Chains A and B, each alone.
Chain A
């Protein structure tokens, strides 16, 4: 049997390469198209990309800032990838993140008399539950009423966004906040410890890395296998006696819980209060990062890092080179298109 396992190791590398190069190609093509757009609009693409690069990596501070941005991207990508591999097109990461943020902030503000060692795990659990409940609605509707999850999760996103706006303008509004739409600050003892002096990089980043390992284990576990069987064919899954409906609900709960955890990290690691813009654009970015990473935990580490660099660098580029941040949106859009086209292009080439 050693022959077989050796063979497998050999094949694995080839398989990895086969997965990686289309993604790399998509990214490069997107950057080239972005560059052409810059050229057409009369700007120097080289200079623009230079300022993007130095914006993302130019100093240790910028580099850690890229890691700070990467944290929610990575957690959300892992969240949606579990749904996707189960054949559930959950695009509700944004709403689930908001609910996680709301629930955990509420716990921190309401029980501020508790010691940090109790409040931190408590808020974490609250965040997970908040996100899971939100996605669970879509999961139950899909499993038992066959409601399309693309529609339910995006509706739930709208509701979450308006709920958040209502809360920070009403019940949770900071009385001393000069009328800004935001909640009161959480007690400073609840803030997540920083990893480096003078940077915003905090424990949430470590949580994200732990989740990567957990995701790898998940796909090597019986639950992960069950998830993929249900994702591949509901009919086969039923035929071999798997509980398809329960698997769907379970997977949406896990996804939502992780998204809620991302919300918790944003509050306790970065903002320390609820703000209206906490999740803007995160939902769609999570999907792109997940797809570009081929829904694989390691792949998503790479793509989350790249996208964080793109966003951080894009902000710097706008400031220093005067190139609108919209360029980053264009690159993101082109990547989505290429990823969608890719399965078609590569399949056509294979046969």
Chain B
């Protein structure tokens, strides 16, 4: 690692109405290092990166690139200064190929398009950084992880020396995240500087050389990764001793920070109990958008007070399963029951009216209306209930109170409930969805990656909430690609592969390794026979 400084941010300050998002932040980025940026939800990480990428103009402070003071007024300036950014929501044109996307808007020196030559150049760059993508593949055939690689390649092709990645692993499967880490290390070795935002301390320890922690818009800590550890980072982010937190919460935080303490969650043994199931799915068949069968003959039940975890690599039919059992997608064959009622033909409204809570995968496009304020988003699904409307007129006072409770209850950081939800930090948007969905005493919760984008404190809180719900007797379907999360919470695990149930087993009988193998498609008997041989 050389010590050349590639970017220096000095005293960067950015204010939004009612919020000091960045308060005189200094950040020094060296060539050849992966620099982790940590902090709670709303700490100001994304804002700082958006300033560096020219999406926001700072109110104060200066930025030096290779020792020269620069004014980064737009992403185009940032790119010309060798700064690239991979956003969480990819900006790719889906019907185009990888190469077409990369050369889009670039001046290739000649008015005629030589696609073959461009493909060759893209392939060269990909090879140099060991990024595995086919330059001729169409974007909509690529997985999320592959699309992210295209975005990285895109920046590199434009000559980026500094690459900003805002929560890149939040959308990846554990395997894809590992691949990304290898890619990033390789890039750092070739002298690139990388800014890496993540809430997962494990991977921060693995990939970064140096870390900076923000809290409440200020920089509170910086260290070489090798000189610090997860517990210290967690402490710096939260800003107090973990032992000061409520006991339950601290146990979760420590567990999430990888301190190895036992979570103390009692897993129920309900598999054999006689209790009436809350959700029964039998022989379910569902088609995806391309009219291919995505869920083929799944059957399972969830009992009251039970968390059924669904383990599976993304794209194995989880989305279609969730949509089918929430009335968003027609069921081709099979049945769904809520307690004693058959709900196979229910509409989304029916499910909402029966208090089935859904934590959606794509909060920005499905769960929230970004241009509405918090008040409206808080009652988005339930505005027509008697508590919030009378004679078809909305009860604004009741909505105010309710929203205030959600904000307090989930510690959502916002200047006031009237701001557009789009201005909240990613984690705070997720908190609003969770607060809303858990507020109506649901009988069934369908949680698709509920922790996505949450800081460790909030993630711990969500775990605790789900655990409370379970104790209350709620049935919970938890979908996640994160095995640690699944193991921490589930009572039983269902491994899903290509739309089928590969196996359902009580958590005591599951071990991470064989579940991982099953997720990749090996059946249990295969694993067993491999072991014995």
Contacts and interface: CB of A to CB of B under 8 A. Distances in A.
Interface stretch (A31-39, A139-147, A167-175, A219-227): A219-227
B352 interface: yes
A225 to B, nearest CB: 5
Contacts of A223: 392
B348 A239 contact: yes
Interface residues of B, number: 36
Contacts of B376: 225
A229 B55 contact: no
Nearest to A2: B400
Interface string B366-397: 11110110001000110110000100111011
Which one of A239, A242, A351 has the greatest number of beta carbons of chain B within 10 Å? A239
B394 A221 contact: yes
Interface size grouping (class) on chain A: 20 to 34
Contacts of A12: 418
A241 B347 contact: yes
B418 A232 contact: no
A236 B369 contact: yes
Interface in A240-278: 240-242
Contacts of A235: 365-366
Interface in B376-428: 376, 380-381, 383-384, 389, 392-394, 396-397, 400-401, 404, 416-418
A8 B417 contact: yes
A1 B360 contact: no
Contact of B404 (A1, A15, A225): A1
B328 interface: yes
Given A5-B397, A5-B400, A221-B394, A239 B367 contact: yes
A4 B327 contact: no
Nearest to A236: B369
Given A8-B418, A229-B369, A351-B55, A217 B393 contact: yes
Contact of A240 (B55, B348, B371): B348
Contacts of A239: 328, 348, 360, 366-367
A95 to B, nearest CB: 30
Nearest to A237: B369
A240 B380 contact: yes
Contacts of B365: 233, 235-236
Nearest to B418: A11
B383 A222 contact: yes
B57 interface: yes
A11 B348 contact: no
Contacts of A59: none
A240 B397 contact: no
Contact of B401 (A1, A236, A242, A351): A1
B56 A351 contact: yes
A220 B396 CA distance: 9
A238 interface: yes
B418 A15 contact: yes
Nearest to A229: B369
Contacts of A236: 365-369, 380
A242 B348 CA distance: 8
B487 interface: no
Contacts of A220: 393-394, 396
Interface string B327-358: 11000000000000000000111111000000
Given A8-B416, A238-B348, A241-B348, 20 more contacts: A7-B418, A8-B400, A217-B393, A220-B394, A221-B389, A222-B384, A222-B392, A222-B393, A225-B376, A225-B394, A228-B372, A232-B371, A232-B372, A236-B367, A239-B360, A239-B367, A240-B348, A240-B380, A240-B381, A241-B347
9 contacts: A1-B400, A7-B418, A11-B418, A12-B418, A220-B394, A221-B394, A236-B367, A241-B349, A351-B57
